[in-house]
Amino acid sequence: MPTLNETYVTKGSWRPNLFEGKVVFVTGGAGSICRVQTEAMVLLGANAAIVGRNKQKTDEAAKDIQSLRKGSKVVSLPDVDVRDVKQLAEAVKKTVAELGRIDFVIAGAAGNFLADFNHLSSNAFKSVVSIDLLGSYNTVKACFEELRKNKGAIIFVSATLHYYGVPFQIHVGAAKAGVDALSNALAVEFGPIGVRSNCIAPGPIEGTEGMSRLAPKGLESVKSKIPLQRLGTKQDIADATVYLFSPAAEFVTGDVLVVDGGSWQVSQGAGSQDYPVTLKKALAAPGAKL
């Protein structure tokens, strides 16, 4: 089921048809965060192509998102692993064949699980860095010609985990630090050719795959410690996305838009709640293979 509906256009903050004639290419578009980003873009006039590894999930998401606006086109690009730049290049080719162009890119495909250092094998670390960081690089690499031609814009989905030390998130923190660095450097390299690059760093957003993986017991107890006293909603992420792609942000590049209700400022990351009790046990237990 989509998260947004036509009230996003009729009652929301944004002008209908804001992105008419534009195309957004989204990796991880069937997942929760990137899916709502795609929904917002489609509701506001864009067509979209979503990339995923799982065929059924990606096909269903594309169909659902397309149903949000009459006349919209949302292309499903399943069986694509962002670690493989050739698969992404093929996906870009199909997108241009079906939708004519790519103006906006959301690099959002990500992998995550909770693991302390002792239980994180070298291959596990590499898997997450490859999906999150190399995958983000590959996405821009595959889309570059279109971005250059259309003076497009990129949003990377980052995090706040690397602003301080978050236990059980070594792999993701390292990958997302790299994503921020990648975005900043691209902003500088691409600025002169009219292409913008920014990150969105979501905090605790309710109803997302990330949250169910990272906080399986729920986030109720965390709410009161978030400065704005609530969890984020998927619409908060949609709005940040629309802003960064809209003409309102045409002088904004090399930035990270943190959408977390002020959360990271009070330094409580996933796995920190009972620090260091669980961590001590994990580090003392038998670990993963190398």
Using CB under 6 A, count the residues that bind ligand COA.
18
Applying CB under 6 A, the span of 36-44, 205-213, 245-253, 268-276 interacting with ligand COA comes to 205-213
> Which of 144, 129, 125 is CA-nearest to residue 186?
144
CB of 139 to ligand COA, least distance (A): 15
Strand partners, 92: none
Q: Is 176 a catalytic residue?
A: yes
Site residues for ligand COA, window 89-128 (CB under 6 A)? Answer: 110-113, 115, 119-121, 123-124, 127-128
Write down how long the chain is.
290
Q: Is 279 in the site for ligand COA (CB under 6 A)?
A: no
> Which of 228, 221, 282, 286 is CA-nearest to residue 259?
228
CB of 11 to ligand COA, least distance (A): 30
Query: Please, what sign has the CA dihedral across residues 64, 66, 67, 68?
Result: positive
Site residues for ligand COA, window 130-149 (CB under 6 A)? Answer: 131
- Distance between CA atoms of residues 127 and 182, nearest Å: 18
Burial class for 46, CB neighbours closer than 10 Å (0-12, 13-18, 19+):
buried
Helices 170-190, 122-129: axis angle to 10 degrees equals 30
Q: Is 267 a catalytic residue?
A: no
- Residues 176, 183, 234, 263: which is the catalytic one? 176
CB of 123 to ligand COA, least distance (A): 4
Nearer to ligand COA, 82 or 153 (CB): 82
Q: Is 34 in the site for ligand COA (CB under 6 A)?
A: no
Nearer to ligand COA, 213 or 280 (CB): 213
> Which of 200, 204, 178, 175 is CA-nearest to residue 271?
204
Residue numbers annotated as active site: 158, 176
What residue ranges bind ligand COA (CB under 6 A)?
110-113, 115, 119-121, 123-124, 127-128, 131, 209-210, 213, 288-289
